[in-house]
Amino acid sequence: MRFRLTPQETSFFDLFAAAADNLLTGSKLLMELLAADPATRVEIADRMRAAEHAGDDATHAIFHQLNSSFVTPFDREDIYRLASRLDDVMDFMEEAVDLVVLYEIDELPKGVAEQIEVLGRAAELTAEAMPHLRTMRHLTEYWIEVNRLENQADQIHRRLLAHLFNGTYPTLEVMKLKQVVDVLEEAADAFEHVANTVESIVVKES
């Protein structure tokens, strides 16, 4: 890691950790939605929306800190990119919950539970990884595992699409469910983008 002669603003690390912890909250709400009675999903969606707003607040705080800091712990472009990609994950998770409620989907295909489990594990890994940005150490296993999880999510997504198009569901229901599973797949992709950004930062700073 490059030796720096100037002091660094350390609150970025706390803000990144808070944003990642919020993703963990979102993944838990997804899991809660999966097991919930359809009548209680609106309340879960309200809590997910609040979590998404908290994520926006964390992102805006990072951008504000970025604009007001002369010295940053790593490149400004990387700080902006990492904050934006953490925010993307939350947006996709919130969108998935919102779609389930808006479309009044009573029962989700079994494979959706597998998607949400993958997202939960990726959220755990991301929350564990963010504090290590302070030292840029012990992060290799994080991005390797998140990339593996994204490959797993791709396979689950393909199986779900095959299931949706096998004639089991009415056409309108297929359209609704496909939107949900596609957005959950986008959330998995977004977790990988976060991990790839962390890898790029570590390589650049080493």
Tell me the per-residue pLDDT of 103-151, one tens digit each, with 9 for 90 and over: 999 999 989 999 999 999 999 999 999 999 999 999 999 999 999 999 9
Structural domains present in the chain: 11-205 (1.20.58.220)
pLDDT at 3 over 90: no
- For residue 57, what are the contacts with CB-CB under 8 A and spacing of at least 6? none
- For residue 89, what are the contacts with CB-CB under 8 A and spacing of at least 6? 23, 26, 123, 126, 187, 190, 191, 194
CA distance linking residue 192 with residue 197, whole number of Å: 8
pLDDT, tens digit (0-9, with 9 covering 90-100), for 146-194 = 999 999 999 999 999 999 999 999 999 999 999 999 999 999 999 999 9
pLDDT at 1 over 50: no
pLDDT at 5: 34
The pTM of the full predicted model, rounded to 2 decimals, is 0.93
φ, ψ dihedrals at 26, nearest 5°: -60, -45
pLDDT, tens digit (0-9, with 9 covering 90-100), for 60-87 = 999 999 999 888 999 999 999 999 999 9
Other Cβ atoms closer than 10 A to 166:
9
Rounded to 10°, the helix 110-129/76-102 angle is 150
Spatial contact of 41 and 33, defined as CB atoms under 8 Å apart: yes
pLDDT at 206: 83
pLDDT at 10: 54
> Two tokens at 158?
């393909």
